[in-house]
Structure 1
Amino acid sequence: MKAIRTAISFRRVESLLDSVKWDSKGLVVAIAQNVDTGAILMQGFANREALALTIASQKATFYSRSRSSLWTKGETSMNFINVHDIFLDCDRDSIIYLGKPVGPTCHTGAETCYYSSVYDLLDEPESKQDRLASTTLYSLEATISERKLEIDSLPNGKPSWTKKLFLDEQLLCSKVREEAGELVQTLLENEDKTRAASEMADLLYHAMVLLKLKDVKMEEVLEVLRKRFSQSGIEEKNSRKSPSK
């Protein structure tokens, strides 16, 4: 959050709270979303006091209908959701806490509360396999992780391209350089946008395989980018640590 938000006047907060369309019980749906991955973490309810406390504390706070009391996510587990921004929908009758979770969000220990695919359940009603609701980028990351785990499982089988890259770091590095060069060429040779998108997809995929070998998650990369939003390019460059010699 911007520093100016720490000095928001009481009058402004009250005015905003007045503009929310609370239901007959004084509640609205409150959804927590990961600021970096976009993953929906959980859904609860908030009343006027819960939203006010979230604004002030920057910790996702809800109203428990069963206990008729406020509760801050993580107050017992310490798995807080640190709120970076709050969004109201167009009708002002639901809110999103956009934040960074500390540890798993679900009481089951899962990363989010959404891990049961309806289509998986329809295909295999007895299946107990959990699959997090992932965007395209994170589905790709999960597939790359699976390929890495499979490297030793089929020693005599024909390896996939991803497995080949894991097994040959020189090949992987050459492909990252090659795909970066081809992306650059789409600009230098004024190729159409579909070609640029295709080359970027190739580069992103190969770069993600490299990141997996380095044990770096895409979430960590996006967190770095988010933290640079408020910095100028010169400030960011000067803040980097010099590599050890």
Structure 2
Amino acid sequence: MMFYYCFLSHGCAVSISRCSSTSLRRVDILLDNVKWDDKGLAVAIAQNIDTGAIMMQGFVNSDALATTISSRKATFYSRSRSKLWTKGESSMNFIHVHDIFLDCDRDSVIYLGKPDGPTCHTGAETCYYTSAFDFLRNSQVKESKMALTTLYSLESTISQRKAELSGPQNGKPSWTKRLLIDNKLLCSKIREEADELCRTLEDNEDKQRTASEMADVLYHAMVLLAVRDVKAEEVLKVLRQRFLKSGVEEKESRRP
């Protein structure tokens, strides 16, 4: 374990030369508490810290996990080559690990991180793009389908509508397309929906009504992001960066 770094309370890694023996013991205790299988391995899943997408799955041994802790780059153990490997060492699409989670049985870990680029060797964003249910419905399905959460499914649908606008047939008419081509209408709807959301608080309406109005705000705001070519992931990145400072400090930093 020559490459240990230690975690401090603020979540940063520092060189071993600055680590206390207590911190190093904590790393040892962590590794000892993982329930390695009979080959000394555990499952490791890489998850995108902003989108929540499951990017890939591999295996780690204690050295791979220790290396990930030290380098903050997702490192795995290759069962076929019997050696450590770091995701991105050939493609340069590293996964920068922000945190590591163990499951309740301590026999698998999650690398919560940010990828530099596509994770899959096929060039796909993640290694999970084949829907079992789509296959069961139609065994000839060849189109890749990302395993998207609700917010990113919405973003994908809006992107499809935007792409259809530039197509030869322009596709079927839709409300989303109307918003995409009419900035004045879009902005008026965002203001209208934001006002209706606030009214649910002012008028003490039920929670379901608040959720419904917030869904309208999110949808129209997502269309605006598409118009501006801004990904939801970029917004979430900004939010994550703001976690590191108080709201008062963040607002002060925006002043000219």
Map of 2:218 onto structure 1: 204
Which of residues 232, 238, 243 is equivalent to 2:252? 238
Partners of 1:152 and 1:145 lie apart in 2 by 11
The 3 A distance-change label for structure 1 pair 28 and 123 is same
Q: What TM-score results when the alignment is normalised by the length of structure 1?
A: 0.94
Partners of 1:153 and 1:49 lie apart in 2 by 52
Map of 2:13 onto structure 1: 6
Partners of 2:189 and 2:207 lie apart in 1 by 21
User: Alpha-carbon deviations, 1:61-80, whole Å to 9, x = none?
Assistant: 00000000000110111100
Q: Which amino acid aligns with 2:13?
A: T
Q: Could you say what the CA RMSD is over the residues aligned between the two structures, in angstroms?
A: 1.6
Partners of 2:27 and 2:171 lie apart in 1 by 62
Give the C-alpha shift of residue 157 in structure 1. 6.7
Partners of 2:144 and 2:171 lie apart in 1 by 27
Larger mean CA deviation between 124-133 and 139-148 belongs to: 124-133
Map of 2:89 onto structure 1: 75
Partners of 1:241 and 1:121 lie apart in 2 by 53
Which of residues 130, 152, 172 is equivalent to 2:144? 130
Which of residues 78, 102, 116 is equivalent to 1:102? 116
Runs of 4+ aligned residues of structure 1 deviating over 4 Å after TM superposition are 154-158
The 3 A distance-change label for structure 1 pair 12 and 157 is closer
Larger mean CA deviation between 1-10 and 146-155 belongs to: 1-10
Which of residues 75, 88, 93 is equivalent to 2:102? 88
Give the C-alpha shift of residue 239 in structure 1. 2.5
Q: Is residue 2:76 matched to residue 1:62?
A: yes
Map of 1:149 onto structure 2: 163
Give the C-alpha shift of residue 241 in structure 1. 6.8
User: Alpha-carbon deviations, 1:7-44, whole Å to 9, x = none?
Assistant: 56211100110011000000000000000000000000
User: Percent same amino acid at aligned positions?
Assistant: 69
Map of 2:200 onto structure 1: 186
Tell me if structure 1 keeps the 8 A contact 2:165–2:171: no
Q: Is residue 2:223 matched to residue 1:216?
A: no
Q: Which amino acid aligns with 1:6?
A: A
Larger mean CA deviation between 209-218 and 122-131 belongs to: 122-131
Q: How many residues align?
A: 242
Partners of 2:35 and 2:176 lie apart in 1 by 50
Tell me if structure 1 keeps the 8 A contact 2:200–2:210: yes
Give the C-alpha shift of residue 234 in structure 1. 1.8
User: Alpha-carbon deviations, 1:108-154, whole Å to 9, x = none?
Assistant: 00000000011111222122100110000000000000011112447
Partners of 2:148 and 2:172 lie apart in 1 by 28
Map of 1:31 onto structure 2: 45
Give the C-alpha shift of residue 236 in structure 1. 1.1
SS of residue matched to 1:119: helix
Map of 2:239 onto structure 1: 225
Q: Which amino acid aligns with 1:39?
A: A
Give the C-alpha shift of residue 174 in structure 1. 0.2
Map of 2:134 onto structure 1: 120
Map of 2:4 onto structure 1: none
Q: Which amino acid aligns with 1:199?
A: E
The 3 A distance-change label for structure 1 pair 199 and 154 is farther
Q: Which amino acid aligns with 1:72?
A: T
SS of residue matched to 1:38: coil
The 3 A distance-change label for structure 1 pair 89 and 156 is closer
Gaps of 5+ in 2: 1-6
Partners of 1:51 and 1:152 lie apart in 2 by 47
